[in-house]
Amino acid sequence: MKDVFLPWQVVMKSEKGISLIETIVAVVLLGIISASFLGALATTSSARATNEERTAAKILAETIMENIKTENYTISYNATIPDEFPGYAATVSATTERNGNIQKITITVQHRNHDVLTLESYKVDRTR
């Protein structure tokens, strides 16, 4: 009796399997794609942390500047760091300009011992 093959059996007999070279190429491609994805993920995480640090520093500097603008006009000012900003520090410098009634206020915010943000503004002595 003659063997009868169904169509799927013919296809299966013509397939010999996957060669070692094809498998290696597939694994290498998968590795390259995975490495690219993990590199992008690490970069995104680092950028997010830096952005959060700069945002907190900006809020802190603006808060200090608003407090200084409500104080009386003096030669120097102190920066008070609220409890919501642990690890942050700020330095304030005031330089008198023009005819002595305008000050340039510069606030530099540091986090973990490196400068994060510098904010400059002016204050006018309205009593003169």
pLDDT tens track for 20-62: 888 899 999 999 999 998 888 888 888 888 889 999 999 999 9
- Is position 32 within any domain? yes
Residue 10 lies in a domain: no
Residue 1 has pLDDT above 80, yes or no: no
Number of domains in the chain: 1
Distance from chain centroid for Cα 69: 30
Within a domain: residue 82? yes
pLDDT attached to residue 17 = 64
- The string of pLDDT tens digits covering residues 104-118 is 999 999 999 899 999
For residue 61, being part of any structural domain is answered with: yes
Distance CA 42, CA 15 (A): 42
Instruction: Quickly count: other Cβ atoms within 10 Å of residue 65's Cβ.
Output: 19
- Rounded to two decimals, the pTM is 0.67
**Residue 77: its pLDDT value, please?**
92
- The parent domain of residue 22 ranges over 18-124
